[in-house]
Chain A
């Protein structure tokens, strides 16, 4: 990781010095364990704050939306796919960007690690493939591979798909990963059980919209839940309204979601919100052979028509 950090700093400094960019967007060290804070650097002093480790799960493409400056951006595999999606959707111009690719070694699941311990975690240290968790009177070593964010554990695009600079050699991509085991389990349930499953899943939801706001795709000026004329969804804690929010949001991400996991990571209540988006991601792959953000050359399936569309009704 320290090699990555050195390289990130070196590239960022160079880009700023040569005025190739006005700012570089990256992460600085967090004030609590397993958290880093997205930040920008406009000067070499700012660049000194940049870090990289397994706690950079927030998707930085989210910070590009409609920005006008020339920006350098640190991008792991999923971030780069969301940058591609942003370019396709005209939320940022390719020529305003210098993408600093990070071959990603997967992020750790802060929610999972927190729930493994009864008392407070005061420090989390990374050493190669080990994660050392420390608290008042305890220290435990975990295998990093056991505590990955769920989306990282099944990720097959760890290397950035587009980059102008890169901070290290490509990492080996995972092969033969079963990406949709959880979705298939839900698909196999009878309707009533499905209904209850999602009732339970979102029962803790407080409608804070952290999932939506952490998502680079959710850039609508006014989200449908915030519309008041007409008002599509009630604003209270009513379970039907909460469900409508989650499902409709997932629909809006279909063909665009890269399964970066930012939504799930952001949720203060630890809700597995990817259970919604992954179904649509799976359908897009099954029906259209589409994975979002892999190419600038092709339009996404939901804004094109092809005569070989798999649905009969539309022909």
Chain B
């Protein structure tokens, strides 16, 4: 295992050098809170954050994304034919992504990159991206990454792990992609691996100890699906929900989208937009029938999907990395930790 030391001066210089070969994305404070955005030339990622308001899933999977274009002009040869549009899949890097958000890409991968179905937009973007994680030593009280199978120093999904030791950064090289990123930046001051590894381990333990939210997920896989589906607690758990899309849009592991055509005169585009299982429209059939017409059904769907269907289908743990955004942002304080406990302990 290789470790690199970067002092904070060469940090900025390296990033500047990277500008030539990578599109850089990083957390930036916009008005009142941080979000990920493409960095302007010379702009540094602001790492003085707890975490971004929204997850960085948009770097790979934008909220609105154009897929095809078409013309309706019958004088054109290719009228009424959907054509793929050119997209920028040049190398990009997300700098300062929290380990929970990076693991989230692996959690959604089985959906976008399955053996039988491949989502070319997601896959190409994902493969073009180098994930430079920023180890988290300031978890929030709403964070529950460790019980969710992740952690503040978790490496799954990362190419590099950046650790802030106050006077310099330590970088743990995790993949070859990460290695290439380092050489493009010109960072190469290798340090003693054992010492660095020990230092990071100590910091990891300290950070993990700060995560006090306890959520039990161990029983979920053994529960009977229909028992949980028909459980009596849903009415009470769903009551406050106003069916906005905040939880799903803020969530790094929610992947649903809706496809829309927009036509402007003779020209048109087909795009996809994030959708949310919280909306009645999400399941409305062309016939007018809606199989999830009530709030309780929709709330149940969200939690059952994350905490039961996903668990059973992919045998990959829960569809949640414990980032806590939905807890912090829900307008009516519906807390996934509470619902998870209800599900995990249901029926004794």
Indicate if A touches B (C-beta under 8 A): yes
User: Which residues of A does B touch, CB under 8 Å?
Assistant: 30-32, 35-40, 58, 62-63, 111, 115, 118-120, 122, 204, 206-210, 212-214, 222, 226, 234-238, 265-270
Cα of A35 to Cα of B326 in the assembled complex, Å: 13
Taking a contact as CB atoms under 8 Å apart, the answer to whether A214 and B53 are in contact is no
Cα of A63 to Cα of B276 in the assembled complex, Å: 21
Taking a contact as CB atoms under 8 Å apart, the answer to whether A213 and B242 are in contact is yes
Residues from chain A with Cβ under 8 Å of B53 in the complex:
268-269
Nearest chain-B residue to A55 (Cβ)? B333
Residues from chain B with Cβ under 8 Å of A222 in the complex:
280-281
Taking a contact as CB atoms under 8 Å apart, the answer to whether B242 and A206 are in contact is no
Question: Are A208 and B244 also in contact (CB < 8 A) when A39-B239, A226-B279 are?
Answer: yes
The one of A31, A120, A204, A236 that contacts B260, using a Cβ cutoff of 8 Å: A236
Contact with A along B278-289 (1 / 0, CB 8 A): 011100000000
The reply on B197 being an interface residue by CB < 8 A is no
Q: Which of B17-25, B134-142, B146-154 contacts A (4 or more CB under 8 A)?
A: B134-142
The reply on B331 being an interface residue by CB < 8 A is yes
**B70 → A minimal CB distance (Å):** 16
The reply on B186 being an interface residue by CB < 8 A is no
Which of B244, B249, B338 has the most chain A CB within a 10 Å cutoff? B244
The reply on B32 being an interface residue by CB < 8 A is yes
Nearest chain-B residue to A114 (Cβ)? B32
The one of B33, B140, B142, B249 that contacts A206, using a Cβ cutoff of 8 Å: B249
User: Which residues of B does A touch, CB under 8 Å?
Assistant: 30-33, 48, 50, 53-54, 63-64, 138, 140-142, 236, 239-240, 242-246, 249-250, 258, 260, 262, 271, 273, 276, 279-281, 327-329, 331-335, 337-338
Residues from chain A with Cβ under 8 Å of B236 in the complex:
39-40
Prevailing SS type, chain A contact patch: loop
Taking a contact as CB atoms under 8 Å apart, the answer to whether A235 and B63 are in contact is no
Question: Are A236 and B271 also in contact (CB < 8 A) when A120-B141, A265-B331 are?
Answer: yes
Nearest chain-B residue to A34 (Cβ)? B333
**A57 → B minimal CB distance (Å):** 10
Residues from chain B with Cβ under 8 Å of A58 in the complex:
331-332
Nearest chain-A residue to B325 (Cβ)? A268
Taking a contact as CB atoms under 8 Å apart, the answer to whether B239 and A210 are in contact is no
**A304 → B minimal CB distance (Å):** 31
Question: Are A206 and B333 also in contact (CB < 8 A) when A38-B239, A235-B260, A270-B33 are?
Answer: no
Residues from chain A with Cβ under 8 Å of B338 in the complex:
31
Cα of A212 to Cα of B242 in the assembled complex, Å: 9
Taking a contact as CB atoms under 8 Å apart, the answer to whether A236 and B333 are in contact is no
Nearest chain-B residue to A210 (Cβ)? B244
Taking a contact as CB atoms under 8 Å apart, the answer to whether B249 and A208 are in contact is yes
Taking a contact as CB atoms under 8 Å apart, the answer to whether A115 and B333 are in contact is no
Cα of A204 to Cα of B249 in the assembled complex, Å: 13
What are 15 A-B contacts defined by CB distance under 8 Å? A32-B333, A204-B31, A206-B245, A208-B245, A209-B245, A210-B245, A213-B243, A222-B280, A235-B273, A236-B64, A236-B271, A266-B242, A267-B331, A268-B331, A269-B33
Residues from chain A with Cβ under 8 Å of B141 in the complex:
32, 120, 122
Cα of A144 to Cα of B179 in the assembled complex, Å: 53
Residues from chain B with Cβ under 8 Å of A235 in the complex:
258, 260, 273
Taking a contact as CB atoms under 8 Å apart, the answer to whether B327 and A268 are in contact is no
Cα of A288 to Cα of B195 in the assembled complex, Å: 76
